[in-house]
Structure 1
Amino acid sequence: MTSSCGRPGCDGARATAGNDPDCADCAPAVPGGALSTDGFLGPAPTGVTASAAPRAGGRTVPDPRLPPDGSFVGTSRTLGSRRSVPGRMPRSESPVRSVRVRPATSSGWAPGRGRLGAGLVTVPEVPQADPRTAVSADPRVPEHRRFCGRADCGARVGRSRGGRPGRTEGFCTRCGHPYSFVPKLHAGDLVHEQYEVVGCLAHGGQGWIHLAVDHAVSDRWVVLKGLPGTADDDALAVAVPVLRHLAEIEHPNIVRIHNFVEHPDPRTGSLDGYIVMEYIGGRSLREIANERTTADRGRRAPLPVEQACAYGLEALEALGHLHSRNLLYCDFKPDNAIQQQDRLKLIDMGAVRRIDDTGGPVHGTAGYQAPEVAVLGPSVASDLYTVARTIAVLVFDFQGFTTVYADSLPPPEHIDVFNEYESLYRFLVRATDPDPTRRFASAGEMAEQLTGVLREVVALRTGQPRPALSALFGPELGCPAADPFPGPAGWRPDAGPVRAALAPVAATALALPVPHPDPDDPCAGFLAGLAAPAPRGMLTALASAPADSAERRLREARALLETGDPQAAAGALKAAEATNDGDWRVVWYRGVVALAAGDAEGAAWAFDAVYDAFPGETAPKLALAVCAELLGQADNAAEYYRSVWTTDPGFVSAAFGLARVRLAVGDRTGAVLALESVPEASVHSTAARMATVRARLTGDGGAPAGPDDLVAAAWQVERLRDLGLDAVRREQLTVEVLSAALAGVQTGEARRAVHGISGAGDGNRPGVGASLLGSRPDERGLRLGLERSYRALARLAQRGEERIDLVERANRCRPRTWM
C-alpha cells in the first residue's frame, strides 16, 4: 500500500507498510555511489526542511582552553536532566583534536550462551528455516524502488507515466545507462554446470539474489549474487582480485565465498559474473526490526538498545577483520546483516573493495553512507559510520534519516533513548562526526567504547553491575570523601549531625582514575621503572629522564599537584601540550589541574571533551559528577554518580557522592540506600556504615530524627562494634545517636520516641526494648548515656586540652541530682 508523500511541492507516493523510508520522488540519491534507498520509517515530519536540520552535536560551548569570561560567546544545550553541566561541544572546538589511544585490547567479553550479546545480554535466537520457504513467488521490484544503477547517477527509472505502468527494462533518461529489474536466472537454470537455480530470494542495490543447489558439493544450498558491469573486461579485471581476497576470508561473522562464475545473459548473450556464497538462513536485521510494531498505526517499535548494541559489536568484529585484510565493506545496513540462531553474519559482499582502490564505482545506501564518500571515497572511517547509522535506525523512530537527517542526528531533546542513555548519544555523535578524522580510528576502538556503552545500558536496565577493566584508565586512587558526613573541625559531637561536606577538592581531583601511560612514549620505560616516592622525590627523579616527552610532563604535572602547587602543574601541562598537541591525556589532566585549583567549571569542559571521545569509559562520568556537585547541580551529579555506581561498584566514591547529593535535596532514604549498597567486602565498608548512621540522624527538613531512624542508627552502631570498630569512633557515633534522641525528647517527642524505640524491630534490625545503646530512651537515661560516652572518650584522648573539654561536656550532660 502507498500513501501520498505529504511534503510541500511533492505529489509522489511512499509505502505505508513501513518497509520504505521515503517518497520515491523526493528521496535523494547517494552522492558518489549507486542509489539504494533503505529503511523502515516514514518521511520526515511535515514542515521540516533540510536547511533546518540540526547537525549532530550542534551544541556550542566554550573551548576549555579559553577562560569562561565572555571572550568566547556560546550557548549551552543540555541533555536530559543535565541542565547546566557543559554539554557536548562541536568537534571543531573540542580540545581532543586527534584522539590517540593505545591499541585496542580485549573488552573483557565474558563467554555467554552465544557470541551475540557479548555475554552481557541474551538476544533471542533466530531458527534456520527451510530455504525453499524464502524463495519469492512473484519476483518483482516495486516502482518506488527502481533507480538507475550507474554509480554517478541514481535517477528514478521504470516509473509509471500517463496511466501506463513503468518499464522493467530500458535505459535511464538521464545518463542512458541500461537498467533491468527482470531476473536473469530462472528456476531450473544450471549455472556453470554446477549450480541449479531454485528461485529469487530478494532484490538488492546490485540486482537479484538467487537461491541455488550446488550439485558438485553434497547438494548444499548456495546463493548466487550478480555483479553488475562484469561483462566489461576492465571492470572484471578490477573485480577478480577482490573476489580472490574474499574467497580466502573465513570468519564466523562473514558469509563464506565459495566461487566466482560466469553465465550468459539470456537476452544479450554477454557473460555476467556471479558470486557464489553460502546460504545463511535466518532473518535480516531489517526483518527483525519490522516485526516489532506498536499500537500507534502499526509503526515500527525500536529494538531494545542492548540488542542493537549487540548487533553493532558483531558487525564491528566482522568489519575489523575485513579491514585487517585491506578490504572495505562499504555498504553495511540492516538488509546486509542476517541473524542465524545466535550469530550475526554479513552478507552481500558485492560492494567490497580494496582500501587502496581509488577507482571504480562505490556502492552505498542513502541514510547510511558517510557524506565524505562522494568526494574522498570510502575508508575505514566511512565503514564505521555505517555501523553507527544502523544502530541509530534500530534504537529509535529515526524519521527522515535518508533525507532531512541524511548525515546528522535529530536534536537529542526530542529522542527519548538519547535522554535516557547519554553515553549512547555521545557514541553515535562521535561515530557519525562529519569530519572522518574525528571518528573512531578503528573497529577495535569503536567496539571497545560500544562495549562500555552496552555495559552501562544493561546495568541501568537490570540493576546488576557490569564492571570491566578499562584499556585507557586505571582504578580510582582511593576515596577521599569516604565519610561524607564528618563533624566540623575538632569534632564537636554535641553540635548534632551535620550536612554533607566534600573532602578537600584537591584530594578529590587526585583520587580520580589516572590514564594509562602511552607505551610508545620515549620515556615509557624510564617512567615504568620509577618507584612511587614522595612528590618532591618524584620531581627530582623526573629531572634525569632521558627525553622531554609528553608522558614525562604529565607525570611532572601530577607530582606538582601532589605538592599543592596547581599553578606550576598548569605550566608543566602546557609544556606537555606543546610536545604532543591533541593527546587526550593532556585534556584529562587539564581537567584534573582545574579541579584541584577549584575551577570546577573549567574542569567540566575538559572532562566533557574526554567523555565525548570515550563515551564507554567510566572515569569521565565520575569526574563530571564531581564537577556538577561542586557547581551545585545536584540532579546532574546524581545522574552521573548513579550511572557510575550502578555500572561498576569498584568506584566506591560514586556511592558516597550519590548519598551526598541525595541528602542535599532532602532525599534521606535515597542517601541511606546508596550507602548501604557499599558491599561489606569493600575497604570502605566501615566508612559507609558510619556514614549511614549519620545520614539517618539527619532529619528531613532539619527536623529531629524519628524513632525508626534512631533504632536503625543504634543497630548500625552495635553492628559496627561487632565488626571491630575502634573504641574512639564507636563512642563518637554513640554520642551522635544519643544526642539526636535527646533533641527529639527536648522538642516534645519524648513519649512517641519512647514508644517507637521500644518496638520489637524486625528480622534484620532487632528491637532494643527499653534501651538505646545501653541507655533508657528518656531524658534522664539519654543524659546518663551521653555522660558515660564523653567520659570514655576523655579516657581515650591523646591531648590534655581535649580530655578537659570532653570532661566538661560530660558534666554539662549529666542530669541534675541532689549529689
Structure 2
Amino acid sequence: MRTCPRPACGGGVEQDGFCDRCGLEAPVLVGTAPAAPVSPDTGPGTGPGTGPGTAPWTASTSTSSSGRSRRASTRSSGRGRLGAGLVEVPRIPYRDPKTAVLADPEVPEAKRFCSSCGKEVGRGKDGRPGRVEGFCAHCGHRYSFTPKLAPGEVLHEQYEVLGCLAHGGLGWIYLAADHAVNDRWVVLKGLLDSGDADAMAAAMAERRFLAEVEHPNIVKIHNFVRHADRASGELVDYIVMEYVGGTSVKDMIKALRADGTGRESLPVAQAIAYALEVLPALGYLHGVGLLYCDFKPDNVIQTEEQLKLIDLGAVRRIDDRHSPIYGTIGYQAPEIGTIGPSVASDLYTVGRALAVMSFPFDFRGAHRESLPSADDEPVLARHDSFRRFLGRATHRDPEQRFASAEEMAEQLTGVLREVLAQQDDVPRPGLSRQFTPERRAFGTEGAPDARAAAAGLPVPQVDAADPAAGFLATATTGDPDQAVAALRAAPVSTVEVRLQVVRALVEADRVAEAEAELDELATPSLFDPDDPQVPAPDDWRPDWYRGLAALVDGRTARAREAFERVCDVVPGEAGPKLALALCAELAEDPVTAAAHYRVVWRTDHAYVSAAFGLARVLLASGGREAAVRVLHSVPETSSHHVAAQVAAVRAQAGGGLVDVVAAGTRLSGLELDVARRAKLTAELLRTALESLPADGSTPAGRLSGCELTEVGLRSGLERCYRQLARLADTPEQRIALVDRANAVRPRTLV
C-alpha cells in the first residue's frame, strides 16, 4: 500500500484508489494515468498527466462528487424528479472530468469568424491550414483562436489548469483543480477573443448575473479571478464555475443520429421532461428581472437525474435596452431585431428547442421562423396537443404566446400526461387550474342533446386574483335568470363578473344577450392591464363562452370553431377537447369525435362523458368490440359504472347470437333493480329470437335461463312482459305490456 501523496495526510491508498484517511481519490502520478476514453460530447481527449506540459499531479473529484459517483452504481432505477415525476428518463452517469479534457484544443476552421465584421477568417488555402491568430482581411480586426491558458498554469495561487473542455462563441472553457477546497474540479471560462468589446461586455454581464443567481438547475459560480495572459501580459477575467459532469441534450441527439439513420430525435416524453425541468429555472430568472436569451439544447446538461442550465453569457436585464443581444439563429424570436428580448422571446426559445429535440427539421433554413405541418411531421400528427402547444409557444405575435414560464409548464404537463397515456393506455389524471371537472355526465342514455351536454361541460375556474372573486364565491343561485340579475348588481364590474353574466345568460337560454355581452367585451382595441373590465389578448374564456352559446343555439360549426381556438391556447386541458369531440359527433364527424373522446378518456377516467361518447362513435362505425371495451373500462368507483355496464350489454347484444348470449352473461353479474333488469332481459330475448338460425337448428347454451329455441325464448319474453306489467305506473302501460305478452307467447294446440 502506497502512501497518500497529499501534504499532511499520511494515509494509505487502498486498492480502489481512495485514501483510507482523507477519503479522497489519490492524485494520479505523472506517467501512471491511463489513457482517457473518447468523450461523448466534447470529442477525443486525454486525461491530465498523459501529455507534455501537464501538471505534476491531477486533482480528483471532491468527496461529494466521488460519493455521488459511487452511489450511482448501486442506486435502484426508477422515476426521478424529471418530467413532474411522470417520466423515467435514462440516467446520465457523472463523468470523470479527466476523460473530458481535449487532447488538441482547436477551433475548427469552419467556425472561425471575425468578431468585428462576421467575415470568415483563419481559413486554409491551397492545402495549407488556416492561421489561428492574425488580422481580418476585411476589416483589419485582430483575431485569436488559441487557448489563453496552458495545462499546469495556476490562477490566483489556487486554480491549476488541466486543459480545455470545450470552446464556444464567447470563450474557451477550461478544467481546473481548486487546491483550496478539497481539490475539487472547477471550470474556468474566459474569452475566445479578448479584443472583442461586445464579447468582453457579455463576459462581464455573465459575471454580474451569475453572482446574483442561485437555483438548483442553473450552474453555480464559485469565484472571479484575473490572470495575466502569458503572451501579451494583458489581464484577462475568468469566471470560476462548478464542473457539471454530464452530457448536453444536443450531444444526446447527435449520439442517437450517429448510431442510426441520422434523423433520430429524443422521445417526445423525454424532450418534454427536459423542458419542464428547465422552465422553473427560466421562471426564476424572470422573477429576479433577468432574461436568459439563448436557450437551446447545447446549453442544457444532464448529470444523473439532474438538469443544469449553463452558459449565462447572453443573460441581460429585462429593462436593458442598450447591451448587445446574443442568441442563436433558429431559436431566436423574430421580433428580437425590432422590439428586443422579453419573457415572451425567452419562452419562444423553449418552444423552438423542444421542437428541435423532438423531431428533425430544417430549423435554421426553411423553417427558421415556422414549424412543419402535421402532414409533413408524423410526431405532430400523432400528438395533436403537442402540435398546438408548439404553435402557441412559437407564435409570431409575442402577445399570443404563453404569458409566463409557470403557465407554459402547466400546459406542457397536461400535454405530457396525454403523451404518456397514449404510450401505455394508463390514465394520467391531473387537477386542472383552468377548468372545473365536468359538471354532469352527458350522453349516458343514448345520443347527447346539445343543450343538456352544454350544461354538463366543465366551466372555466374563477380567477382568484380578480377583484370580484370573493363576491362571485358567494353569489350562487340555482335559477339562471336570478343569477343574471344578481351579477349585474355586483359591487364591482370586472372581466370575471361579465363572463359569469354570459354564462348565466347561456344557461337561461338567452343566447342573443350572451353574445351581445361578449361583443361588448371584445370592443376595446387596446388592452389596458389596469382595466379589470377588459380581457387580455390571450384570454381564451370569451371564446369558450362563444362556443357554449353557439352549441346551445344549435350552431355546431360555429361552436366547433370557437372551441378549436380555445384548444390552441390551452392545449393541455381536457375540457376543450371534450367540447370539440361533442361538436364533431353532433356534426356527424365520427373520426374527429373518436380522436378527441379517446384522448380525454385515455388520459383521465374522471371524464365519463368521453367514455360514453367514444363508445357511441365506435359503435356507429362498426367497432362493437372496441366500444364494449371502452364501456367496460369505466371504473367501479364511478357513479356511472352500472350505466356503462348496461350500455356495454346493449352494445354487445347488437352482434350475432353468440354475442347476445355473452351479453346475457354480463347482465347476470349486474346489480339492477327489478324493472331495469326485466326490461334489459326482454331486449336480449327479443334480439336472440330475431337471430335464431333459419334452418331450425338449436344452438347450445342458455340465455337468462331460457333455452335458445323459439319456444324457450318466447316463454321467457312473455314472463318479462308480464313482470313489467305488474310494475307499470299507469293502467295504460299495464294493458300495453299484457298485450305484448299475449302476442309473443308460444303457440299451443289449446
Q: Same fold (TM over 0.5)?
A: yes
Whether 2:652 is the aligned partner of 1:657: answer no
Residue 348 of structure 1: how far off its partner (Å): 1.5
Per the normalisation by structure 1, the TM-score is: 0.78
The residue number in structure 1 matching 2:653 is 697
Whether 2:193 is the aligned partner of 1:263: answer no
Q: Which amino acid aligns with 1:439?
A: R
Whether 2:164 is the aligned partner of 1:200: answer yes
Correspondence for 1:168 among 132, 137, 157: 132
In structure 2, the residue corresponding to 1:266 is in which secondary structure?
coil
Higher relative contact order (CA 8 A, sep 6+): 1
Q: State the alpha-carbon separation in 2 of the partners of residues 657 and 329 from structure 1.
A: 45
The residue number in structure 1 matching 2:408 is 446
The residue number in structure 1 matching 2:479 is 534
C-alpha contact (below 8 Å) 1:590/1:603 kept by paired residues: yes
In structure 2, the residue corresponding to 1:320 is in which secondary structure?
helix
C-alpha contact (below 8 Å) 1:334/1:390 kept by paired residues: yes
1:95-134 to 2 correspondences below 5 Å = 113-134=79-100
In structure 2, the residue corresponding to 1:186 is in which secondary structure?
coil
In structure 1, the residue corresponding to 2:706 is in which secondary structure?
coil
Correspondence for 1:311 among 262, 265, 274: 274
Partner deviation per Cα, 1:510-547 (whole Å, 9 max, x = no partner): 21110001223343221110234222332342243213
The residue number in structure 2 matching 1:713 is 663
- Mean CA deviation greater in 228-237 or 217-226: 228-237
- Check 1:363–1:577 CA distance in 2 against 1; reply closer, same or farther (3 A cut): closer
Residue 562 of structure 1: how far off its partner (Å): 2.4
In structure 1, the residue corresponding to 2:703 is in which secondary structure?
coil
The residue number in structure 2 matching 1:796 is 727
Q: State the alpha-carbon separation in 2 of the partners of residues 749 and 643 from structure 1.
A: 46
The residue number in structure 2 matching 1:215 is 179
Residue 351 of structure 1: how far off its partner (Å): 2.0
C-alpha contact (below 8 Å) 1:188/1:198 kept by paired residues: yes
C-alpha contact (below 8 Å) 2:148/2:229 kept by paired residues: yes
Q: Which amino acid aligns with 1:387?
A: V
Per the normalisation by structure 2, the TM-score is: 0.85
Correspondence for 2:556 among 596, 600, 610: 600
The residue number in structure 1 matching 2:111 is 145
The residue number in structure 2 matching 1:684 is 640
Q: State the alpha-carbon separation in 1 of the partners of residues 247 and 205 from structure 2.
A: 30
Correspondence for 1:737 among 654, 664, 684: 684
Q: State the alpha-carbon separation in 1 of the partners of residues 437 and 174 from structure 2.
A: 54
Correspondence for 1:431 among 390, 393, 406: 393
Whether 2:426 is the aligned partner of 1:464: answer yes
- Check 1:539–1:156 CA distance in 2 against 1; reply closer, same or farther (3 A cut): same
Correspondence for 1:632 among 588, 607, 627: 588
Correspondence for 1:290 among 212, 235, 254: 254
- Check 1:149–1:471 CA distance in 2 against 1; reply closer, same or farther (3 A cut): farther
Q: State the alpha-carbon separation in 1 of the partners of residues 322 and 218 from structure 2.
A: 25
The total of aligned residue pairs comes to 666
Correspondence for 1:622 among 578, 581, 595: 578
- Check 1:334–1:236 CA distance in 2 against 1; reply closer, same or farther (3 A cut): closer
1:286-365 to 2 correspondences below 5 Å = 286-293=250-257, 298-365=261-328
Whether 2:155 is the aligned partner of 1:191: answer yes
Highest CA radius of gyration, 1 or 2?
Answer: 2
C-alpha contact (below 8 Å) 1:231/1:273 kept by paired residues: no
Partner deviation per Cα, 1:78-128 (whole Å, 9 max, x = no partner): xxxxxxxxxxxxxxxxxxxxxxxxxxxxxxxxx974222321111011111
Whether 2:519 is the aligned partner of 1:574: answer yes
Partner deviation per Cα, 1:321-360 (whole Å, 9 max, x = no partner): 1111211222122221110000010112222222222122
C-alpha contact (below 8 Å) 2:293/2:326 kept by paired residues: yes
Whether 2:741 is the aligned partner of 1:810: answer yes
C-alpha contact (below 8 Å) 2:79/2:86 kept by paired residues: no
Aligned-residue RMSD, C-alpha = 2.3
Residue 231 of structure 1: how far off its partner (Å): 7.3
- Check 1:350–1:553 CA distance in 2 against 1; reply closer, same or farther (3 A cut): closer
In structure 2, the residue corresponding to 1:213 is in which secondary structure?
strand
Residue 640 of structure 1: how far off its partner (Å): 0.9
Residue 285 of structure 1: how far off its partner (Å): 0.8
In structure 2, the residue corresponding to 1:350 is in which secondary structure?
coil
C-alpha contact (below 8 Å) 2:373/2:380 kept by paired residues: no
C-alpha contact (below 8 Å) 2:205/2:313 kept by paired residues: no
1:23-102 to 2 correspondences below 5 Å = none
Whether 2:82 is the aligned partner of 1:135: answer no
Q: State the alpha-carbon separation in 2 of the partners of residues 340 and 19 from structure 1.
A: 13
Residue 241 of structure 1: how far off its partner (Å): 6.6
C-alpha contact (below 8 Å) 1:210/1:223 kept by paired residues: yes
C-alpha contact (below 8 Å) 1:196/1:213 kept by paired residues: yes
- Check 1:170–1:617 CA distance in 2 against 1; reply closer, same or farther (3 A cut): farther
- Mean CA deviation greater in 554-563 or 682-691: 554-563
Q: State the alpha-carbon separation in 1 of the partners of residues 695 and 348 from structure 2.
A: 65
- Mean CA deviation greater in 263-272 or 417-426: 263-272
Identical pairs, percent: 54
Q: State the alpha-carbon separation in 1 of the partners of residues 618 and 145 from structure 2.
A: 63
In structure 2, the residue corresponding to 1:292 is in which secondary structure?
helix
C-alpha contact (below 8 Å) 1:183/1:208 kept by paired residues: yes
- Check 1:697–1:567 CA distance in 2 against 1; reply closer, same or farther (3 A cut): farther
Gaps of 5+ in 2: 1-39, 43-76, 524-532
Q: Which amino acid aligns with 2:534?
A: N
Residue 774 of structure 1: how far off its partner (Å): 2.4
In structure 1, the residue corresponding to 2:490 is in which secondary structure?
coil
The residue number in structure 1 matching 2:490 is 545
- Check 1:427–1:809 CA distance in 2 against 1; reply closer, same or farther (3 A cut): same
Residue 550 of structure 1: how far off its partner (Å): 2.9
- Mean CA deviation greater in 520-529 or 210-219: 520-529
C-alpha contact (below 8 Å) 1:146/1:157 kept by paired residues: yes
